[in-house]
Chain A
Amino acid sequence: MATEQHSQEGGVKHRHRHEGPQRHIVVFVFSVLLTLLAFAAVAAGGVNATFAVILLLVMAALQVVLQMGFWMHLKDKGHLLPIVFMLGGFFIAGTCIVMALYWVWWD
Protein backbone atom coordinates (compact mmCIF):
# COMPACT_ATOMS: atom_id res chain seq x y z
CA MET A 1 0.00 0.00 0.00
CA ALA A 2 2.76 2.38 0.86
CA THR A 3 4.10 2.83 -2.64
CA GLU A 4 0.76 2.82 -4.41
CA GLN A 5 -1.92 5.46 -4.50
CA HIS A 6 -5.38 3.97 -4.57
CA SER A 7 -7.46 7.06 -4.22
CA GLN A 8 -10.90 7.36 -5.68
CA GLU A 9 -10.59 11.02 -6.40
CA GLY A 10 -8.42 12.34 -9.21
CA GLY A 11 -9.06 9.42 -11.52
CA VAL A 12 -5.33 9.10 -12.14
CA LYS A 13 -4.47 6.06 -14.17
CA HIS A 14 -2.44 3.68 -12.09
CA ARG A 15 -1.44 0.06 -11.86
CA HIS A 16 -1.48 -2.29 -8.96
CA ARG A 17 -0.91 -5.93 -8.26
CA HIS A 18 -3.51 -8.51 -7.32
CA GLU A 19 -2.29 -11.57 -5.52
CA GLY A 20 -3.33 -14.78 -7.19
CA PRO A 21 -5.05 -17.72 -5.50
CA GLN A 22 -1.96 -19.94 -5.70
CA ARG A 23 -0.40 -19.36 -2.31
CA HIS A 24 -3.78 -19.56 -0.58
CA ILE A 25 -4.31 -22.94 -2.22
CA VAL A 26 -0.82 -23.95 -1.01
CA VAL A 27 -1.84 -22.96 2.55
CA PHE A 28 -5.05 -24.96 2.10
CA VAL A 29 -3.15 -28.05 0.91
CA PHE A 30 -0.73 -27.77 3.84
CA SER A 31 -3.67 -27.41 6.25
CA VAL A 32 -5.35 -30.49 4.74
CA LEU A 33 -2.11 -32.49 5.00
CA LEU A 34 -1.53 -31.44 8.62
CA THR A 35 -5.14 -32.32 9.46
CA LEU A 36 -4.95 -35.70 7.71
CA LEU A 37 -1.65 -36.49 9.46
CA ALA A 38 -3.15 -35.58 12.84
CA PHE A 39 -6.26 -37.73 12.34
CA ALA A 40 -4.21 -40.59 10.87
CA ALA A 41 -1.75 -40.57 13.79
CA VAL A 42 -4.64 -40.96 16.25
CA ALA A 43 -6.69 -43.39 14.13
CA ALA A 44 -3.71 -45.68 13.55
CA GLY A 45 -3.08 -45.91 17.29
CA GLY A 46 0.07 -47.37 18.78
CA VAL A 47 1.72 -43.96 18.90
CA ASN A 48 3.36 -43.12 22.22
CA ALA A 49 0.85 -40.92 24.08
CA THR A 50 3.29 -38.21 25.15
CA PHE A 51 4.77 -38.04 21.66
CA ALA A 52 1.27 -37.91 20.14
CA VAL A 53 0.25 -34.99 22.38
CA ILE A 54 3.34 -32.99 21.41
CA LEU A 55 3.01 -33.87 17.71
CA LEU A 56 -0.70 -32.94 17.60
CA LEU A 57 -0.19 -29.62 19.41
CA VAL A 58 2.75 -28.67 17.17
CA MET A 59 0.76 -29.47 14.02
CA ALA A 60 -2.23 -27.47 15.28
CA ALA A 61 0.02 -24.50 16.08
CA LEU A 62 1.65 -24.74 12.64
CA GLN A 63 -1.73 -24.75 10.91
CA VAL A 64 -2.93 -21.78 12.94
CA VAL A 65 0.22 -19.78 12.16
CA LEU A 66 -0.16 -20.54 8.43
CA GLN A 67 -3.82 -19.57 8.34
CA MET A 68 -3.47 -16.43 10.44
CA GLY A 69 -0.36 -15.38 8.53
CA PHE A 70 -1.68 -15.84 5.01
CA TRP A 71 -5.48 -15.96 5.18
CA MET A 72 -5.81 -13.24 7.80
CA HIS A 73 -2.84 -11.34 6.32
CA LEU A 74 -0.97 -11.01 9.62
CA LYS A 75 2.34 -11.50 7.79
CA ASP A 76 1.64 -8.44 5.62
CA LYS A 77 3.00 -4.98 6.34
CA GLY A 78 1.12 -2.70 8.73
CA HIS A 79 -0.18 -5.47 10.98
CA LEU A 80 1.81 -4.72 14.12
CA LEU A 81 -1.20 -3.72 16.24
CA PRO A 82 -3.31 -6.72 15.14
CA ILE A 83 -0.40 -9.00 16.06
CA VAL A 84 -0.09 -7.27 19.44
CA PHE A 85 -3.85 -7.70 20.02
CA MET A 86 -3.78 -11.38 19.08
CA LEU A 87 -0.61 -12.21 21.01
CA GLY A 88 -2.09 -10.38 24.01
CA GLY A 89 -5.24 -12.48 23.70
CA PHE A 90 -3.26 -15.71 23.32
CA PHE A 91 -1.06 -14.80 26.29
CA ILE A 92 -4.04 -14.32 28.60
CA ALA A 93 -5.72 -17.45 27.17
CA GLY A 94 -2.51 -19.42 27.78
CA THR A 95 -2.29 -18.09 31.34
CA CYS A 96 -5.86 -19.31 31.99
CA ILE A 97 -5.01 -22.76 30.63
CA VAL A 98 -1.81 -23.06 32.68
CA MET A 99 -3.69 -21.89 35.77
CA ALA A 100 -6.50 -24.43 35.30
CA LEU A 101 -4.10 -27.32 34.66
CA TYR A 102 -1.90 -26.39 37.62
CA TRP A 103 -4.96 -26.15 39.83
CA VAL A 104 -6.27 -29.60 38.84
CA TRP A 105 -3.06 -31.58 38.45
CA TRP A 106 -0.89 -30.33 41.28
CA ASP A 107 -3.26 -29.26 44.00
Chain B
Amino acid sequence: MTTVHAEAGKGTLPHEPEKATLEGRNKVLAFWLFLGGEAVLFGTLFATFLALRNSTNDGPSAAELFHLPLVAAATFLLLASSLTSVFAIQAMHRNKPKELRGWLLITVVLGAAFLALEIYEFSVYVRHEEFGMTTSAFSSAFYTLVGFHGAHVAFGIVWIAILIGQLVRKGLTVVTAPKIYVSAMYWHFIDVVWVFIFTVVYLLGKVG
Protein backbone atom coordinates (compact mmCIF):
# COMPACT_ATOMS: atom_id res chain seq x y z
CA MET B 1 0.00 0.00 0.00
CA THR B 2 1.90 3.02 1.21
CA THR B 3 5.62 2.95 1.55
CA VAL B 4 7.31 4.71 4.41
CA HIS B 5 10.90 5.80 4.28
CA ALA B 6 13.18 8.30 5.88
CA GLU B 7 14.08 11.23 3.69
CA ALA B 8 17.54 11.76 5.13
CA GLY B 9 20.25 11.24 2.58
CA LYS B 10 17.85 11.52 -0.35
CA GLY B 11 18.55 15.12 -1.25
CA THR B 12 16.70 18.12 0.06
CA LEU B 13 13.47 18.02 -1.92
CA PRO B 14 10.44 18.26 0.41
CA HIS B 15 7.73 15.60 0.34
CA GLU B 16 5.24 17.68 -1.67
CA PRO B 17 7.60 20.06 -3.47
CA GLU B 18 4.72 21.79 -5.29
CA LYS B 19 3.42 23.07 -1.94
CA ALA B 20 6.77 23.80 -0.29
CA THR B 21 6.83 27.48 -1.21
CA LEU B 22 4.18 30.18 -0.94
CA GLU B 23 4.57 30.80 -4.67
CA GLY B 24 3.92 27.13 -5.35
CA ARG B 25 0.81 27.05 -3.16
CA ASN B 26 -0.49 30.25 -4.75
CA LYS B 27 0.13 28.81 -8.21
CA VAL B 28 -1.90 25.69 -7.43
CA LEU B 29 -4.76 27.67 -5.87
CA ALA B 30 -4.85 30.18 -8.72
CA PHE B 31 -4.87 27.33 -11.21
CA TRP B 32 -8.01 25.95 -9.58
CA LEU B 33 -9.64 29.34 -10.11
CA PHE B 34 -8.55 29.17 -13.75
CA LEU B 35 -10.05 25.68 -14.09
CA GLY B 36 -13.33 27.01 -12.64
CA GLY B 37 -13.26 29.59 -15.45
CA GLU B 38 -12.48 26.86 -17.98
CA ALA B 39 -15.53 24.97 -16.74
CA VAL B 40 -17.65 28.05 -17.53
CA LEU B 41 -16.02 28.35 -20.98
CA PHE B 42 -16.77 24.74 -21.88
CA GLY B 43 -20.22 25.06 -20.27
CA THR B 44 -21.15 27.81 -22.74
CA LEU B 45 -19.87 25.70 -25.65
CA PHE B 46 -21.85 22.68 -24.41
CA ALA B 47 -24.94 24.88 -24.03
CA THR B 48 -24.56 26.11 -27.62
CA PHE B 49 -24.03 22.58 -28.89
CA LEU B 50 -27.04 21.17 -27.02
CA ALA B 51 -29.23 23.96 -28.35
CA LEU B 52 -28.13 23.42 -31.98
CA ARG B 53 -27.45 19.67 -32.14
CA ASN B 54 -30.57 18.92 -34.21
CA SER B 55 -30.23 21.90 -36.56
CA THR B 56 -28.58 19.92 -39.36
CA ASN B 57 -29.70 22.12 -42.28
CA ASP B 58 -30.05 19.01 -44.52
CA GLY B 59 -26.41 18.13 -43.80
CA PRO B 60 -25.30 14.96 -42.00
CA SER B 61 -26.81 14.32 -38.57
CA ALA B 62 -24.90 13.09 -35.52
CA ALA B 63 -26.33 9.57 -35.87
CA GLU B 64 -25.23 9.35 -39.53
CA LEU B 65 -21.82 10.86 -38.97
CA PHE B 66 -20.20 9.45 -35.86
CA HIS B 67 -18.13 6.29 -35.91
CA LEU B 68 -18.05 4.96 -32.34
CA PRO B 69 -14.94 2.68 -32.51
CA LEU B 70 -12.78 5.69 -33.44
CA VAL B 71 -14.24 7.76 -30.59
CA ALA B 72 -13.76 4.87 -28.14
CA ALA B 73 -10.10 4.55 -29.17
CA ALA B 74 -9.55 8.28 -28.64
CA THR B 75 -11.31 8.07 -25.27
CA PHE B 76 -9.09 5.27 -23.98
CA LEU B 77 -5.93 7.04 -25.20
CA LEU B 78 -6.84 10.17 -23.25
CA LEU B 79 -7.94 8.20 -20.18
CA ALA B 80 -4.63 6.31 -20.18
CA SER B 81 -2.73 9.59 -20.50
CA SER B 82 -4.57 10.92 -17.44
CA LEU B 83 -3.39 7.88 -15.47
CA THR B 84 0.22 8.30 -16.64
CA SER B 85 0.18 11.90 -15.46
CA VAL B 86 -0.94 10.64 -12.03
CA PHE B 87 2.08 8.34 -12.09
CA ALA B 88 4.26 11.31 -13.07
CA ILE B 89 3.17 13.24 -9.98
CA GLN B 90 3.70 10.18 -7.78
CA ALA B 91 7.24 9.85 -9.18
CA MET B 92 7.75 13.55 -8.44
CA HIS B 93 6.63 13.03 -4.83
CA ARG B 94 9.14 10.19 -4.51
CA ASN B 95 11.85 12.50 -5.90
CA LYS B 96 12.53 10.36 -8.95
CA PRO B 97 13.15 12.90 -11.76
CA LYS B 98 13.98 10.28 -14.40
CA GLU B 99 10.78 8.32 -13.73
CA LEU B 100 8.89 11.62 -13.73
CA ARG B 101 10.29 12.56 -17.15
CA GLY B 102 9.42 9.12 -18.49
CA TRP B 103 5.78 9.32 -17.39
CA LEU B 104 5.47 12.88 -18.72
CA LEU B 105 6.86 11.72 -22.06
CA ILE B 106 4.33 8.86 -22.23
CA THR B 107 1.58 11.35 -21.38
CA VAL B 108 2.65 13.62 -24.22
CA VAL B 109 2.84 10.70 -26.68
CA LEU B 110 -0.65 9.46 -25.72
CA GLY B 111 -2.00 13.02 -26.01
CA ALA B 112 -0.43 13.36 -29.47
CA ALA B 113 -2.02 10.05 -30.52
CA PHE B 114 -5.42 11.33 -29.33
CA LEU B 115 -4.91 14.53 -31.31
CA ALA B 116 -3.89 12.58 -34.44
CA LEU B 117 -7.13 10.55 -34.24
CA GLU B 118 -9.15 13.74 -33.88
CA ILE B 119 -7.45 15.39 -36.86
CA TYR B 120 -8.07 12.22 -38.90
CA GLU B 121 -11.74 12.21 -37.79
CA PHE B 122 -12.26 15.88 -38.76
CA SER B 123 -10.51 15.39 -42.12
CA VAL B 124 -12.80 12.44 -42.95
CA TYR B 125 -15.87 14.53 -42.08
CA VAL B 126 -14.73 17.46 -44.20
CA ARG B 127 -13.49 15.52 -47.24
CA HIS B 128 -15.85 12.53 -47.42
CA GLU B 129 -18.98 13.52 -45.51
CA GLU B 130 -19.31 17.11 -46.73
CA PHE B 131 -19.53 18.17 -43.12
CA GLY B 132 -17.65 21.47 -42.85
CA MET B 133 -17.63 24.31 -40.34
CA THR B 134 -20.40 26.15 -42.24
CA THR B 135 -22.54 23.16 -43.25
CA SER B 136 -25.10 23.62 -40.47
CA ALA B 137 -25.59 25.10 -37.03
CA PHE B 138 -24.93 21.59 -35.74
CA SER B 139 -21.59 21.37 -37.58
CA SER B 140 -20.47 24.81 -36.36
CA ALA B 141 -21.35 23.95 -32.76
CA PHE B 142 -19.68 20.53 -33.09
CA TYR B 143 -16.40 21.84 -34.51
CA THR B 144 -16.29 24.71 -32.02
CA LEU B 145 -16.83 22.51 -28.96
CA VAL B 146 -14.73 19.49 -29.96
CA GLY B 147 -12.12 21.65 -31.71
CA PHE B 148 -11.74 23.83 -28.61
CA HIS B 149 -11.08 20.72 -26.58
CA GLY B 150 -8.58 19.54 -29.23
CA ALA B 151 -6.84 22.92 -29.03
CA HIS B 152 -6.56 22.44 -25.27
CA VAL B 153 -4.95 19.04 -25.84
CA ALA B 154 -2.52 20.57 -28.34
CA PHE B 155 -1.64 23.33 -25.87
CA GLY B 156 -1.15 20.75 -23.10
CA ILE B 157 1.18 18.67 -25.27
CA VAL B 158 3.39 21.69 -26.03
CA TRP B 159 3.27 22.83 -22.38
CA ILE B 160 4.27 19.46 -20.92
CA ALA B 161 6.95 18.97 -23.58
CA ILE B 162 8.48 22.32 -22.58
CA LEU B 163 8.34 21.27 -18.90
CA ILE B 164 10.23 18.05 -19.75
CA GLY B 165 12.91 20.29 -21.29
CA GLN B 166 13.00 22.43 -18.12
CA LEU B 167 13.35 19.28 -16.02
CA VAL B 168 16.38 18.24 -18.07
CA ARG B 169 18.00 21.66 -17.78
CA LYS B 170 17.04 22.71 -14.24
CA GLY B 171 16.20 19.46 -12.49
CA LEU B 172 13.37 18.80 -10.08
CA THR B 173 13.25 21.69 -7.60
CA VAL B 174 10.66 23.60 -5.58
CA VAL B 175 10.53 25.97 -8.57
CA THR B 176 9.89 23.39 -11.30
CA ALA B 177 7.66 21.11 -9.19
CA PRO B 178 4.61 23.47 -8.99
CA LYS B 179 4.74 23.93 -12.78
CA ILE B 180 4.61 20.18 -13.29
CA TYR B 181 1.85 19.72 -10.72
CA VAL B 182 -0.27 22.42 -12.33
CA SER B 183 0.22 20.95 -15.81
CA ALA B 184 -0.98 17.57 -14.48
CA MET B 185 -4.11 19.28 -13.06
CA TYR B 186 -4.70 20.83 -16.48
CA TRP B 187 -4.29 17.45 -18.16
CA HIS B 188 -6.79 15.77 -15.82
CA PHE B 189 -9.26 18.57 -16.47
CA ILE B 190 -8.90 18.06 -20.24
CA ASP B 191 -9.76 14.38 -19.70
CA VAL B 192 -12.76 15.33 -17.52
CA VAL B 193 -14.06 17.61 -20.29
CA TRP B 194 -13.62 14.76 -22.77
CA VAL B 195 -15.78 12.48 -20.59
CA PHE B 196 -18.63 14.97 -21.11
CA ILE B 197 -17.83 15.33 -24.83
CA PHE B 198 -17.88 11.62 -25.62
CA THR B 199 -21.07 11.26 -23.58
CA VAL B 200 -23.04 14.33 -24.69
CA VAL B 201 -21.76 14.81 -28.25
CA TYR B 202 -21.03 11.30 -29.50
CA LEU B 203 -23.06 8.81 -27.46
CA LEU B 204 -26.17 10.98 -27.02
CA GLY B 205 -25.76 11.94 -30.69
CA LYS B 206 -26.09 8.26 -31.60
CA VAL B 207 -29.03 7.76 -29.24
CA GLY B 208 -30.85 10.68 -30.87
Interface residues of chain A, those whose CB is within 8 Å of chain B, are: 1, 4, 6-8, 11, 13-22, 24-25, 28, 31-32, 35, 38-39, 42-43, 47, 49, 52-53, 56-57, 59-60, 63-64, 67-68, 71-72, 81-82, 85-86, 88-90, 92-94, 96-97, 99-101, 103-104
User: C-beta contact mask, B88-127 vs A, less than 8 Å → 1, else 0?
Assistant: 0010011000000000000000000000000000000000
Known pairs A59-B199, A93-B43 / 4 extra A-B pairs, C-beta < 8 Å: A6-B15, A11-B8, A21-B86, A35-B75
In the complex, the answer to whether B40 meets A86 with C-beta atoms within 8 Å is no
For residue B37, CB closer than 8 A to chain A, the reply is: yes
Chain B residue contacts of A89, Cβ below 8 A: 35-40, 43
Chain B residue with the shortest CB-CB distance to A17: B2
Q: Which residues of B from 182 to 208 have beta carbons under 8 Å from A?
A: 185, 188-189, 191-192, 195-196, 198-200, 203-204, 206-208
Chain B residue contacts of A64, Cβ below 8 A: 192, 195-196
Chain A residue contacts of B83, Cβ below 8 A: 24-25, 28, 71
For residue B143, CB closer than 8 A to chain A, the reply is: no
CB distance from A16 to the nearest CB of B (A): 5
Number of interface residues of B (CB under 8 A): 63
| B interface secondary structure, majority | helix
With A53-B207, A86-B32, A93-B39 known to touch, is A24 a contact of B86 (CB < 8 Å)?
yes
Chain B residue contacts of A31, Cβ below 8 A: 79
For residue B20, CB closer than 8 A to chain A, the reply is: yes
In the complex, the answer to whether B207 meets A6 with C-beta atoms within 8 Å is no
Chain B residue with the shortest CB-CB distance to A34: B195
